Amino acid sequence: MGKPVWSVAGMSAPAFRLPALRPAVILAAFAGGMGWGIRGQYGHETGAMIAGLLLSLTLVLAICPDLPARSALRAVAWGTVAIGFGGSLTYGQTVGLTHDAELAGNWAALRWGMLGLAIKGGLWIGFAGLFLGLGLGGVRHRSRDIAAAMFVALALCAAGIWLFNEPFDPARKLLPRIYFSDDWRWEPGAQLKPRREVWGGCLFAFLAMVGYAAWRQDRLAVRLAGWGVLGGAIGFPFGQCVQAGHAWNREFFRTGVWAE
């Protein structure tokens, strides 16, 4: 059956097995991709939770086949909610900075957009790793502790938005100093509809929940949070490089083998 990687406290059999990791990566990619396609019909947090449900369910069933039903459902629920948090991170216009026709060839916009995608992607998948770890780490989290951590996270979220994502008054062209969506800096004189960003609030809330997990000595949650940040910070810009490469080199893709 393979050497166990770790086990959940109180279980009679190992929950995680090395052979399950290889197909889990492929199956999770398929599940997440399908969920992301469905997400487009709903958008925002609700749509993101669809992808979160399919992804979390696939990972838990593939990597933790021996997990009791209640524990498995708890982990899937935590992962679903965490991916939903990421739905508040507006990123469509951040993607646009890297491949919109009006900005094709603008290296400064490309670099800024990729930086924004790294930050937002890191937070998005960081939340997913953290909450999935909270559900699988074997540490019993009392309801009052979770509630207190959530209230602290919400307060810090408001503080982060105030610090990083204000002012926001498009009518007067007042935007935050660090702003990763399309604005008049990149397209002077254009008719734009800037989107409110909340990455600063999500950053503070994420750090608060990581601090809670560290306080409870939930090592799995802390580790998965770190790996999630790394994966999201690399994966979001890397994936967008493909789309931006096509947008910047349309003629190349219209000839030769690509045209066929």
For the ranges 23-37, 163-177, 235-249, the lowest mean pLDDT is seen at 23-37
What residues contact residue 82 under an 8 Å CB cut-off, 6+ apart?
52, 127, 128, 130, 131, 132
Residue 184: strand, helix, or coil: coil
Identify any residues that bridge with 121 across adjacent strands, giving them in sequence order. Answer: none
Amino acid letter for position 126:
G
Q: Distance between CA 149 and CA 246 in Å, rounded?
A: 44
Global pTM value: 0.86
More confident residue, 26 or 122: 122
| pLDDT band of 160, cuts 50, 70, 90 | very high
Q: Are 204 and 157 in contact (CB under 8 A)?
A: yes
Q: What is the pLDDT averaged over residues 51-56? A: 92
- pLDDT at residue 20 in the model: 60
**Per-residue pLDDT tens over the stretch 245-260:** 999 988 888 887 877 7
Instruction: Report the mean per-residue pLDDT for the chain.
Output: 87
Q: What is the pLDDT averaged over residues 33-43? A: 80
**Residue 54 to residues 9, 102, 226, 260: CA-CA distances in angstroms?**
25, 36, 22, 34
Would the pLDDT of 205 be above 60? yes
Tokens encoding 55: 């992804």
For the ranges 10-14, 94-98, 109-113, 115-119, the lowest mean pLDDT is seen at 10-14
Q: What is the pLDDT averaged over residues 187-200? A: 91
> How far is C-alpha 216 from the chain's CA centre?
23
| pLDDT band of 14, cuts 50, 70, 90 | very low
Q: What is the pLDDT averaged over residues 55-80? A: 90
| pLDDT band of 47, cuts 50, 70, 90 | confident
- pLDDT at residue 57 in the model: 92
Q: What is the pLDDT averaged over residues 166-188? A: 93
Identify any residues that bridge with 4 across adjacent strands, giving them in sequence order. Answer: 17
Tokens encoding 82: 């965490």
Residue 242: Cβ-neighbour burial (10 angstroms; 0-12, 13-18, 19+): exposed
Amino acid letter for position 215:
W
The domains of the chain are located at: 15-87, 99-251
Residue holding tokens 């000595």?
A: 217
